[in-house]
Amino acid sequence: MLKIGKLLSIPTAPLYLTKLKLEYAITHMETQEEIQLMQELLLLCDTKCVYPSTYVIGTFINSCLRNDLAETALQFLRQARSLEKYLPGKSLVRVLRHYTELIDASDEDETKKEEYEAIIDELVAKMDTLTSPISMICYLFKIENAKRRGDTKLAVQIAKEAADEKAINAHMILKLLEPIDEDENIEEKFRVAKYLMSKGDVYSNEKLEVFLQRAGTQFQKPSSLKGQTMTDKKSAESRRHKGNHASTD
């Protein structure tokens, strides 16, 4: 890899370092040192506009996370100048989920939590700069992240954006509506689900269908009963009115 790295110092580097050579190098990474060397190599490639394939970036990110080198992946994401041109959203989401897990594991360490939350904000901002359309995986993370932070309104807004882009499915809608086995705000959840399904051309699954049937029944019952009560009341008034006429006669 060091030999390949030296080739990048000359103007014709792209002629020497192809995507195939990068893929060969990435498949032979084994140690932490080699992973860190690969980070340097990828940064050199970025500088020389030799953009790696989705496979190379995905393998590099996964190797970093598996080998306790999340910081190495983060440094790459921060330092690469043309990241938005070739970074797959799913690789970025893997790093984001790693830092979300670190927040959950931080217990009472508020300083660490704030640090990780700041990293998440930084990486989500990068997600919005990617030239490729934001995928379902990215939208799902943004929805879950907003809900984790207690911002349901933002989560719904993101889901509507996903629906506009036809980048939403039944699983994402269910994640947005969780918990789905509680009756609180069930009418609003029902309306949001129906809107997203219509706007996003979403095919329902069994779990979502069960929720929609239960929710529709739950919030329609009171209005139905209210309608019956009003009808009964009118019938009673009509009977009293007829009775009064009869007694007058």
Kindly give the confidence (pLDDT) of every residue in the chain, 249 residues in length, as a single tens digit, with 9 standing for 90 and above: 545 545 545 555 555 667 788 888 888 888 999 999 899 989 988 888 888 899 999 999 999 999 999 999 999 999 999 999 999 999 999 999 999 999 999 888 899 999 999 999 999 999 999 988 889 999 999 999 999 999 999 999 999 999 999 999 999 999 999 998 888 889 999 999 999 999 999 999 999 999 999 988 876 655 444 444 444 544 545 544 544 444 444
Contact 202, 168 (CB under 8 A): yes
Q: Give this prediction's pTM.
A: 0.81
* H or E, element range at 143: helix 136-148
Per-residue pLDDT at 13: 54
Task: Note the pLDDT of residue 230.
Answer: 46
Q: For residue 191, which phi and psi values (nearest 5 degrees)?
A: -65, -40
Domain ranges (residues) in the chain: 1-96, 162-229
Secondary element (H or E) of residue 70: helix 70-79
DSSP state at residue 48: T
Residues near 128 by beta carbon (within 8 Å), at least 6 away in sequence: 134
